[in-house]
C-alpha cells in the first residue's frame, strides 16, 4: 500500500511536555481515526504532519516529501479542515470557495465549476450568497470541510468534522467521505465522537500522554482491548430451547433474553456469530439481524486508556 503519511521516530519537545517518539504510517485509501484525550498530542501530530511546526527529533513525510523543506509541493494535494474554523465573516460561501480555489491554482473555468459542485456536495447551494457571519455553526462547519475539498485534494485532514452538524448532515457527510475514498482519496479524522469513528473509519491511531498506544484496524483494537464482546440477535419468534442451545455454543459465556431477541456475551478472540445464526435459522425462529453491539469502540477506548496508566 502506498504510504501517504509517515512518522519516523518523531518527537516534539515542548520542555514541560514531550510528544513522541511516534512511528506510524497512513496508506492510500484508508480512513484513519486519530484518537486520544485532550492534551495527548493529536493536534501536535496534525501540525507536524502539515509542516506547521518542526519536530525536535525524527521526521515526518507527507506525500513522500518533507513538509518543512518542500511545504508547497507536499501540501499541494492536501485539504485541511480545522476544529471550530474561524472563517471570514464578511464573505459569502461562494466568494470564500472562489478565493480558496484561486489559492490552490484553479483556472477560471474549472474554478466556477468546482465551487458550484463543492457547495452542492456539502449542502450549501441554497446559502451560497449568504454572509458567512450569518450562517449557523453547522453551516460554517460544512463550509470548512468544503474549502478542504477544493483542488481537489487526495488527502483530507479533518479535525472534529462533525461538530455542530445535524443528524441528516452527518449521514450526508459519511456518504461524501466514503465516496472521496472510493475515488482514491485518504482521510485522517480526529474526533471525540467515537460512534462516528466506529461508523466511518477502518483503522485507528490512538495517542495517549504523547505516546502511540495503538495503530491498526478497529476490529483488532476492540478484540485486544475488551475481554468480552456483546452480540445482539434480533428474532421474529422465540423457540423454547433456542436460548439454551445458544448458551452452549463455544465462545459464548452468557446469553439473555431481550425484548426483540437475545443479547449474547462472547469471549474476546472468539466469533460465534456464524454458529449462532445456524442455530437460529435451523430453529425456524426467523433471524432479522445479528451483529456486535454498537458502542464497543467507546468501551475499548476507555479500557485502553486506563490500561496505559491514566
Q: Look at residue 115 and tell me whether its pLDDT is greater than 90.
A: yes
Share of the chain above pLDDT 70, in %: 98
The H or E element spanning position 253 is strand 252-257
Q: Look at residue 14 and tell me whether its pLDDT is greater than 60.
A: yes
Contacts of 126 (CB under 8 A, 6+ apart): none
Nine-digit cell string for 233: 440477535
Q: For each of the domains in the chain, give its residue range(s) and CATH number, in order of start.
A: 3-217 (3.40.50.300), 226-307 (3.30.70.980)
| Structure confidence at residue 309 (pLDDT) | 55
Helix (H, G, I), strand (E, B) or coil at 12: strand
Pairwise CA distance, residues 11 & 60, whole Å: 10
| Structure confidence at residue 193 (pLDDT) | 87
Q: What is the pLDDT of residues 130-156, one digit of tens each?
A: 999 999 988 999 999 999 999 889 999
Q: Look at residue 307 and tell me whether its pLDDT is greater than 80.
A: no
| Structure confidence at residue 12 (pLDDT) | 96
Residue 99, classified by CB atoms within 10 Å of its CB into exposed (0-12), middle (13-18) or buried (19+), is middle
Q: Residue 8: left if φ>0, alpha if ψ -120 to 50, beta else—which one?
A: beta
Nine-digit cell string for 3: 504510504
Pairwise CA distance, residues 163 & 76, whole Å: 26
| Structure confidence at residue 106 (pLDDT) | 85
Where would I find the H helices in the chain? 42-49, 71-74, 93-103, 108-121, 137-148, 167-182, 194-200, 218-225, 242-247, 273-283, 296-307
| Structure confidence at residue 35 (pLDDT) | 94
Q: Quick count: other Cβ atoms within 10 Å of Cβ 309? A: 9
Q: Look at residue 310 and tell me whether its pLDDT is greater than 70.
A: no
Pairwise CA distance, residues 170 & 224, whole Å: 29
pTM for this one? Answer: 0.85
Q: Look at residue 46 and tell me whether its pLDDT is greater than 80.
A: yes
Nine-digit cell string for 48: 507536524
Pairwise CA distance, residues 186 & 176, whole Å: 13
Q: What is the pLDDT of residues 58-91, one digit of tens each?
A: 999 999 999 999 999 999 999 999 987 888 889 9
Q: What is the pLDDT of residues 179-237, one digit of tens each?
A: 999 999 999 999 888 988 989 999 999 999 999 999 999 989 988 888 888 999 999 99
Nine-digit cell string for 156: 483530507
Report the side by side order of strands in the sheet with 155-159: 78-81, 155-159, 186-190, 31-35, 203-208, 211-217
State the average pLDDT for the chain: 91
Q: What are phi and psi of 116, to 5 degrees?
A: -60, -45
- For residue 303, what pLDDT band results from cuts at 50, 70 and 90? confident
The H or E element spanning position 59 is strand 57-62
Mean pLDDT of 276-280: 94
Amino acid at each position: 500500500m502506498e504510504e501517504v503519511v509517515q512518522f519516523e521516530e518523531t518527537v516534539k519537545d515542548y520542555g514541560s511536555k514531550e510528544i513522541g517518539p511516534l512511528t506510524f504510517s497512513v496508506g492510500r485509501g484508508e480512513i484513519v481515526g486519530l484518537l486520544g484525550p485532550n492534551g495527548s498530542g493529536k493536534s501536535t501530530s496534525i501540525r507536524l504532519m502539515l509542516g506547521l511546526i518542526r519536530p525536535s527529533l525524527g521526521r515526518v513525510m507527507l506525500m513522500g516529501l518533507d513538509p518543512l523543506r518542500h511545504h508547497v509541493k507536499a501540501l499541494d494535494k492536501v485539504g485541511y479542515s480545522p476544529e471550530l474554523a474561524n472563517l471570514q465573516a464578511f464573505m459569502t460561501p461562494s466568494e470564500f470557495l472562489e478565493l480558496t480555489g484561486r489559492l490552490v491554482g484553479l483556472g477560471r473555468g474549472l474554478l466556477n465549476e468546482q465551487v458550484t459542485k463543492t457547495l452542492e456536495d456539502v449542502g450549501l447551494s441554497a446559502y451560497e450568497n449568504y454572509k458567512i457571519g450569518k450562517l449557523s455553526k453547522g453551516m460554517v462547519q460544512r463550509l470548512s470541510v468544503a474549502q478542504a475539498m477544493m483542488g481537489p485534494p487526495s488527502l483530507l485532514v479533518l479535525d472534529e468534522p462533525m461538530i455542530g452538524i445535524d443528524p441528516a448532515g452527518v449521514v450526508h457527510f459519511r456518504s461524501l467521505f466514503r465516496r472521496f475514498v472510493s475515488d482514491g482519496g485518504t482521510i485522517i479524522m480526529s474526533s471525540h465522537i467515537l460512534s462516528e469513528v466506529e461508523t466511518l473509519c477502518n483503522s485507528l491511531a490512538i495517542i495517549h500522554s504523547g505516546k502511540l498506544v495503538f495503530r491498526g484496524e478497529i476490529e483488532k483494537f476492540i478484540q485486544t482491548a475488551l475481554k468480552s464482546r456483546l452480540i445482539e440477535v434480533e428474532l421474529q419468534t422465540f423457540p423454547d430451547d433456542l436460548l439454551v442451545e445458544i448458551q452452549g455454543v463455544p465462545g459464548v459465556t452468557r446469553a439473555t433474553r431481550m425484548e426483540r431477541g437475545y443479547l449474547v456475551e462472547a469471549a474476546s478472540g472468539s466469533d460465534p456469530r456464524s454458529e449462532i445464526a445456524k442455530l437460529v435459522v435451523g430453529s425456524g425462529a426467523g433471524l432479522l439481524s445479528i451483529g456486535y453491539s454498537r458502542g464497543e469502540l467507546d468501551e475499548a477506548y476507555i479500557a485502553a486508556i486506563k490500561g496505559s496508566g491514566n
